[in-house]
Amino acid sequence: MIKDCTTVWDNCLRTIRRNVNSQSFKTWFEPIRPVRLDKNALTIQVPNKFFYEWLEEHYVSLLKMTIRQELGEKGRLEYQILMGSKRETPRPVKAINAATNGQGDINVPGAFDTGNIKNPFVIPGIKKLKIDPQLNPSYIFDNFIEGDCNRLARSAGYAISRKPGGTAFNPFVIFGDVGLGKTHLAQAIGNDVLANDSNRTVLYVSSEKFTNQIIESIKNNAVNDFVNFYQLIDVLIVDDIQFLANKQKTQEIFFHIFNQLHQNGKQIILTSDRPPKDLDGMEERLISRFKWGLSADLQAPDLETRMAILEAKMSQEGLDIPYDVIEFICYNIKNNIRELEGVLISLVAQSMLNRREIDLDLAKEVIKNFVKQMSKEITVDFIQKLVAEHFDLPVDKLKGQTRKRSIVIARQLSMYLAKNLTNKSLKAIGENFGGRDHSTVIYSCKAVQDLLDTDMIFKDTVTDLEKKIKMSLNEK
């Protein structure tokens, strides 16, 4: 049987799918297109250089294994990189149009218009009630990048969206610091529920708006109507529940709504900046109910996840930004995804308004507005100098071609430290070591990691060098 490039790549994808999680597969492998098959070489097309370097660094062993399974021991993989305007257009994401205005269906804007409440929660004589769920259609699972920082919360949220009120995760409390995606994940659940069943009634409301609605309903003697309205909801999402603290009347009414929804098998989703046990100013009976289901935290994303988030945002917006700029941004913005996206928007705006190319210099100028005190930059030259001094070698030896074991180890260690402690791309690091390519840097980093796992003396050496580098920077 004669194989073509599509058949070979489809077979490879089947193996790859079994060896990576679904989000990684969707992010890093679905955009790839097979181009041609020439004897033992399969050429694949990737959207940009970032994709190429990420695949080479993180999935090279898996790709090598799958290609050899299909094409034999001599099988190899070649890349074709799309550049500039030829970049592949991202697949459109299905948007959920939450508002409805069709015949027989009625929006209830009064449920959110706290300035004009008479009796907006129950409309006599209308059997079918359609409300605007107040969801942002761009908040979906497809663009919520999964990482170690959010895997539990995302997986639980996805399970809830498939069976709202029918899992053990009720209520579902998502907690974490500002800008880590709590609102995105909560609304993604709501959007997915509606995508699967448009007859469900989903409602997203901030705790501030919920409190204002209660105040208005009390002023208008419509508290019973208020409670009755909320009991119609199939999936209730309340954002920033911590702001209900010390509001006794609001907590009392929310307690009754919570009980009724939970008893009727309706799904409750809450977000907070802290876990339920730390919610000061909240009634104990509410806290105990928040603990009934699942509390999942969102942590600050690691470097790889931050880069994947930024790349996904670039794909969504059709942007093409140099890899070293992406790395620099992600090294400096560590704890807030919202800031990460803000830097990207500012960078593009500055580039367009000032007609400047997007490069490291422009990125440094933009980031100063987001980071109060940027950490002093660690350079590859500085690392080379410190490692050379430690091993009592001339710096030129690290950049040369000698294969003497002691020098090779020092060179590999320098590359390892440069990768972990600088904002340089793999290619840029290799160029600082006598023009070596990025694959040499990858190999060197792996060799050092192997030594770290097996040689405690070497591990102590690396730890001491890392401390020296950081201490030297603080002294500058």
Query: Is 12 within 8 Å of 66 (Cβ atoms)?
Result: yes
Helix 323-332 × helix 360-367 angle, to 10°: 20
- 295 Cα distance to chain centroid: 19
In the chain (476 residues long), the average pLDDT of successive 10-residue segments reads 80 89 81 87 82 79 89 87 45 29 32 36 43 86 82 88 88 87 92 90 90 87 84 90 89 90 91 88 88 85 79 76 79 76 81 80 77 61 87 86 87 89 80 87 89 85 80 52
Per-residue model confidence as pLDDT tens digits over 302-349: 777 887 888 877 777 777 788 778 877 777 777 777 777 788 888 888
Per-residue model confidence as pLDDT tens digits over 128-158: 456 778 898 888 888 888 877 888 888 889 8
Kindly report the pTM of this predicted structure: 0.52
Phi-psi region of 165 (alpha: psi -120 to 50; beta: other; left: phi over 0): left
**DSSP 8-state secondary structure symbol assigned to residue 142:** G
* Average pLDDT across the chain, whole number: 79
Beta strands per DSSP E along 223-300: 235-239, 267-272, 294-298
Confidence at residue 129, expressed as pLDDT on a 0 to 100 scale: 52
CA distance 234 to 193: 10
Domains and CATH numbers, the chain: 5-86 (3.30.300.180), 109-298 (3.40.50.300), 303-367 (1.10.8.60), 380-475 (1.10.1750.10)
CA distance 108 to 123: 9
Confidence at residue 72, expressed as pLDDT on a 0 to 100 scale: 87
> Which two tokens mark 171?
């209520």
Query: Is 301 within 8 Å of 176 (Cβ atoms)?
Result: no
How far apart, in Å, are the Cα atoms of 318 and each of 48, 84, 140, 170, 391?
11, 10, 18, 38, 47
Per-residue model confidence as pLDDT tens digits over 398-420: 888 888 888 999 999 999 988 88
- Cα end-to-end distance, the chain, whole Å: 66
Confidence at residue 50, expressed as pLDDT on a 0 to 100 scale: 67
Per-residue model confidence as pLDDT tens digits over 336-388: 777 777 888 888 888 877 788 888 788 887 877 666 544 456 788 888 888 88
CA distance 192 to 185: 11
